[in-house]
Structure 1
Amino acid sequence: MKWIYLAAGLLFFFKIILLPNPTSQQSFPIVELIVQDTGVINAVSGVIFRNRLYDTVFEVVVFTIAIMGVRYLLANEPLSTKIDQFSDPPSRLLAQLGATIAAIVGIELAIRGHLSPGGGFAAGVAGGTAIGLIAMTSSPEAMQSIYHRWHAETWEKVTVLIFIVLSVLTLSGIELPQGQLGAPLSGGIIPILNILVAIKVALGAWAAVLSFIRYRGLL
């Protein structure tokens, strides 16, 4: 049986290497069609926030459920009595500098994600990274106080609701003008959805980071 498997594997290998791909002779300008259809230069953002918007809505919902799950699973655990943080000046400086760079990159990805590589999810991850780095050098009580003072939990829920409403309107055929291709305001509703996803992911990451630090310390 081993020889049969080996022969089949060799035949399949030579088939891939030697025989031409029947679809390689044809040209499908899929990227160009997506750009024209969505009105954004970044075809990935066009696919995520228009061609696959139905899937993206549920990805946002799944992320929201994951954050709720973190809070639920850690709610009954004892609070961490000791939280080790960066105490030496070089580490604190590097963490704060990295947080500043990550925050700037996150803002750039959220605003211009439809014009260059990036987008709402990448921007939210960059924002969450910035918050995590700040949490390594700041008091957990201070981070928790800022989170509640700015009503971050409420804004997270509001952002999700606005995203779902705008997505439903878009899926129903109600769209904004696409504008000029390559302009900052091009792409209709896509730049707005990008920013909403970035805010939601960043705030959700903030909530998860606070929960883990509060109950488990710095991991």
Structure 2
Amino acid sequence: MKWFYLAAVGAIFLQFLLFPNPAPDWPEPSIIDLIVNDSGIPNTITGIIFRNRIYDTIFEVVVFTIAIMGCKFLLANDKPLSQVYQFSDRPSIVLARLGALISALVSIELAIRGHLSPGGGFAAGVAGGTAIGLVAITSNAEWMEGIYKRWRAALAEKLSVLLFIILAALTLLGFSLPDGEFGSLLSGGMIPIMNILVAFKVALGSWAAILLFIRYRGLF
């Protein structure tokens, strides 16, 4: 049986070498042109996520929300750490804060212009969460949690999810804002708004998860 598996693997490997994948013969107009014309934005990936595949994207946002709720539920019965250790040496703090600044700027850029260039709401949210995490490892845990509560970040996260679901439902029903001028910042109808909402939700959800794990698990 072992020789059979080896022969099968060898045959598949030779097939990769001797028979290259045929070039696709797209009909005119191509599927990319159709997506661009349908969404009104040059970033076809964002057009697919927030228009052609919006039904799936709704549940992806909901799944992320459930994951954050699951973190809170699983850690609810644990005892918070009596002392949380952060990086205290100056070079680490400077590098972490610099990285946080760069990540925050990238997050804003991806959220605002994600429908025009590579990027999007999920990538922007991850960059924002990375910025928050870099600040958290060099800051006092109580201070970070105080800012989270003072800015009502938990409420803002829930409202962003609710507003995204409403806009996505309207899109599924056929309602949309004007597409605007192709390639401009205010183009693509509701897509830029949903892009920003997803980035906002992912960044705030990451913030909540970071605070929970630091409080109950520490940094190391």
TM-score, normalising length: structure 1: 0.94
Match of 2:117, SS? coil
Separation (CA, whole Å) in 2 of partners of 1:20 and 1:148: 57
Which runs of structure 2 are paired with 1:48-59 in the superposition (5 Å)?
48-59=49-60
Task: State the aligned residue count.
Answer: 218
Deviation at 1:178, TM superposition (A): 1.1
**Aligned in 2, Cα 1:79/1:174: closer, same or farther, shift over 3 Å?**
same
**Is 1:184 equivalent to 2:185 in the alignment?**
yes
CA 1:213/1:173 → structure 2, altered by over 3 Å: closer, same or farther?
A: same
> Structure 2 regions of 5+ residues with no counterpart?
none
Could you give the per-residue CA deviations for residues 107-145 of structure 1, whole angstroms, max 9, x where no partner exists?
Answer: 000000000111000000111111111111111111111
Alignment partner, residue 27 of structure 1: 26
Once superposed, which parts of structure 1, at least 4 consecutive aligned residues long, lie more than 3 Å away?
A: 1-21
Task: Give the AA of the match of 1:136.
Answer: I
Which residue pairs with 2:123 in the alignment? 122
Amino acid at match of 2:55: Y
> Could you say if the C-alpha distance between residues 79 and 34 of structure 1 is closer, same or farther in structure 2, counting changes exceeding 3 Å?
same
Letter in 1 for 2:25: Q
Distance 2:23 2:61 in 1: 36
- Distance in 2 separating the partners of 1:7 and 1:209: 49
1:195 aligned partner? 196
Query: In the alignment, residue 124 of structure 1 is paired with which amino acid?
Result: G
Go from structure 1 to structure 2 and tell me whether the alpha carbon gap of 1:88 and 1:3 turns closer, same or farther (over 3 Å shift).
Answer: closer
| Separation (CA, whole Å) in 2 of partners of 1:16 and 1:91 | 47
Paired residue secondary structure (2:32): helix
Secondary structure at the counterpart of residue 176 of structure 1: coil
Q: State the one-letter code of the partner of 1:108.
A: E
When the two chains are superposed, the root-mean-square deviation of aligned CA atoms in Å is: 1.6
Aligned-residue sequence identity (percent) comes to 63
In the alignment, the residues of structure 2 paired with residue 19 and residue 104 of structure 1 have an alpha-carbon distance, to the nearest angstrom, of 46
| Alpha-carbon offset, residue 177 of structure 1 | 1.3
Structure 1 alignment gaps of length 5 or more? none
| Corresponding residue number in structure 1 for 2:159 | 158
Which position in structure 2 is the counterpart of 1:172?
173
Shift of 1:7: 3.9
Q: Secondary structure at the match of 2:116?
A: coil
